[in-house]
Amino acid sequence: MIIDAHAHYGAALGLSCSDEEYIESMDRWGIDRAVFSSMLAISGNEPEGNDAVHRMIRRWPDRVVGYCVPNPYRRPAEELARCIDMGFRAVKLHPRGMGCPMDNRMYRPVYEEAQRRRMPVLFHSGGLLTMPDFRFTSPDMILRIARAYPELPLLAGHMGLERWLDLVNVAPDVENVYLDITMSLPDLYRLEKAVETVGAERVLFGTDLPLLDPSVPLGLVQGADLTDEQRRLILGGNMVRLLEAVR
């Protein structure tokens, strides 16, 4: 099974597609399920954005999983509770996009409830390629959160981007940080280094759909020097395990 652990729903960077086109793209690349977060919610309209993802879940319950996007400035615990009632299985934070560092106290209710339910929390890590900015998700910050919430699965989206090696080197110090290869300045060495350092059990496949073509991360996993079992874990086995553990 292939699970895209990092997909987006809605228009971004001038790109958009219909609900059916998301499923068609998944079919084309053999992606069985995708975990979606709303671009509208990340932009500040979390109720409407999360509702849109919920409609996708209702239409394709076997293909679509939802990341709840709470706004740290506006009743995040209430929005998370609402999403849980709608069947969301994970949380997406974008500290840089919302201008709120991931160790800000306003995230605490989200971390606490997600840890209680063992809900994976995906967060954007690193800058934005051409705009490095690590005030919001530095490797040291990620390490502090991981230690403060040791039972909380933390999914480092984009594997730290420009500071990927710093993140890879601190990740072995905690067991609950997972490295998401989505757009992680793709080359084989980075993926192989991540697997060598933290183990294939903590590396996740993601596409950034619809922003990027799934062929890039798929080719990365297929071309890397990995065993078949390591590929199975990265492409979906790890995310299946995380989602099945949600209470």
Span 182-208, average pLDDT: 93
Whether the CB-CB separation of 122 and 157 falls below 8 Å is answered with yes
CATH code of the domain in which 213 resides: 3.20.20.140
Segments forming the whole domain that contains residue 37: 3-244
Q: What is the share, in percent, of the chain residues with pLDDT greater than 70?
A: 95
Number of domains in the chain: 1
In angstroms, the CA 119 to CA 112 distance is 10
Structure tokens at 163: 């500071």
Tens of pLDDT along 127-184? 765 555 678 899 999 999 999 999 999 999 999 988 899 999 999 999 999 999 998 7
pTM score of the predicted model: 0.95
